[in-house]
Amino acid sequence: MKSLKLILIITLIMSLVSLPVFVYSQTGAVAQAKIDANKHVSKFLWFGAGCLFGLIGVGAAYLIAPNPPASALLGKDADWVTLYTDAYRSEGKRIQGKYAIYGCLTNALVYIVYAVVVVATTTSTVSSY
């Protein structure tokens, strides 16, 4: 009975000691995925997609999930790879969508400025006759 209590206490202590290490490695995967997604996702490409295709480009940015680089996954355990991949794709979609929206808004702003210039020159031309 005494040895059973000792085994239970040792198991409990080992669990409490290993839990922070496990949690740290899992949050480390998510943090690393966010850093890598920020580094690898092409912001210029998605800005251009938003400019050229408007809302279709924005929709595509949220539908197309970027894949993480294979080099980041080598030598890692399955749980870490799953967490990393999910976080990378989620952060990648967020970045793609943000820059596609920036491109779409830039396109809209250019059209608004163009329309104002056209209306201003048209009214000034008409009033000069």
Q: Could you tell me the pTM of the whole model? A: 0.73
Summarised one tens digit per residue, pLDDT across range 17-69 is 554 444 445 688 899 999 999 999 999 999 999 999 999 999 999 999 999 99
Could you write out the three-class secondary structure of the chain? CHHHHHHHHHHHHHHHHHHHHHHHHHHHHHHHHHHHHHHHCCHHHHHHHHHHHCHHHHHHHHHCCCCCCHHHCCCCCHHHHHHHHHHHHHHHHHHHHHHHHHHHHHHHHHHHHHHHHHHHHHHHHHHCC
Summarised one tens digit per residue, pLDDT across range 76-99 is 989 999 999 999 999 999 999 999
